[in-house]
Amino acid sequence: MTLNIRDYGWNDTFAAAKESFQHEGFVPARVLVEQKNAYRLASESGELHGELSGKLRFEALSRIDLPAVGDWVLVDARPEEGKATIHAVLPRSSFFSRKSAGTVPEQQIIASNIDTVFLVSALNRDFNLRRMERYLVMAYESGANPVFVLTKADLSEDAADKKRQVEEIAFGVPVHVVSAFEQSGIEELAPYLGAGKTVVLLGSSGAGKSTLTNVLLGAEVQVVSHVREDDDRGRHTTTHRELFPLPSGALLIDTPGMRELQLWEASESNDHGFPDIEALARTCRFNDCSHQSEPGCAVQAAIEGGELDEARFASYQKLLRELAFMERKGNKVLEKAARDKWKKVTQQHKKTKY
């Protein structure tokens, strides 16, 4: 069985990148599934089971250097065996990442070469604007275009109001309300699902990603589980990331639900997720305003005047604290500077106390 790799998103940009590697005899393939360094690939020879070459594994400095779902890789294909050896990862046009689990911060690629990120949230009791703000920051960081998809509209009596709330934090990002059960609103997603385009679904467990995947595929491919009755939260149904070709010609990547997000180096993206707060901060009297009790603080004035939601500001501060902590954790110089700072603060506190 042969495949046309352009149906999987191959284009002239990737073709030019391939030429720069000058690997004779290696052919391109796209990663459909990755599970513990075992891969399922789409190539011109059909689907193949891939494994890393010893050189690629040895030269990888971190997980970011290894293939992820959505990556284009160069392989030594053995179609008669249904196998391939992966020798290189082509440069990514975009990628979505988070901090991996563990005590040492390491960037984990969730999906790559994405055109659009569907930020999926259910319109039930698990509806959470603060979580959606964090998803939005991650989407901007990926380099792909974010789109909010509010699911389970059939279970909500105030879908229009919740859509308005999301639009208030989205600042120009498209927001669509859909119901997979009633098959309503699905047509609004068509403009993002053109031939060769790649879309990734991001959302917490129970948001309806697997159900939406099945609707877009037109087949029951992903297992769907029921949410808990007490809080409408779901269990992890999708256990791994996988790329699916859609009937429209687009490619869809479903991901396991992620409730507690560990962001990775999103400091440059903060103004995307919270442009209103950043704009206010630039008008504070002092450049180093902490937005707590300083005179002339535009942020606090906006909160007191009802122009800025205090919970949104708290979410923004939590994000900054997490990023600062990760930066200190991964940088020994900054970590020592932070400890020295708090040591001086403690010493000063003791002097004033006694």
The answer to whether 205 is a known ligand-binding residue is yes
The answer to whether 207 is a known ligand-binding residue is yes
Q: Characterize the bridge pairing of strands 251-254 and 242-245.
A: antiparallel
The answer to whether 154 is a known ligand-binding residue is yes
Boundary residue ending a domain (36, 71, 91): 91
SS (H, E, C) 36-79: CCEEEEEECCEEEEEEECHHHHHHCCCHHHCCCCCCEEEEEEEC
Q: pLDDT at position 246, please?
A: 95
Q: pLDDT at position 314, please?
A: 81
The answer to whether 351 is a known ligand-binding residue is no
The answer to whether 204 is a known ligand-binding residue is yes
One domain, residues 101 and 250: yes
The answer to whether 209 is a known ligand-binding residue is yes
The answer to whether 184 is a known ligand-binding residue is no
Q: What is the CATH number of the domain that holds 247?
A: 3.40.50.300
Q: Which residues of the chain have pLDDT under 50?
A: 225-238, 258-261, 263-270, 353-354
The answer to whether 162 is a known ligand-binding residue is no
Q: pLDDT at position 238, please?
A: 45
- Other Cβ atoms closer than 10 A to 36: 6
- Other Cβ atoms closer than 10 A to 337: 12
Separation CA 58–CA 37 (nearest Å):
13
How much is the pTM?
0.71
Angle between helices 310-330 and 129-142 (to 10 degrees): 50
Q: Can you tell me whether residue 332 is helix, strand or coil?
A: helix
Q: Say how many domains are in the chain.
A: 3
Q: What angle do CA 148, 136, 152 make, to 5 degrees?
A: 30
pLDDT per position as a tens digit, 142-192? 888 999 999 999 988 899 999 999 998 888 899 999 998 888 999 999 999
Separation CA 137–CA 171 (nearest Å):
12
One domain, residues 249 and 277: no
Residue with tokens 């690939």: 41
Both tokens of 242, joined, read 């996988």
One domain, residues 145 and 60: no
Q: What is the CATH number of the domain that holds 84?
A: 2.40.50.140
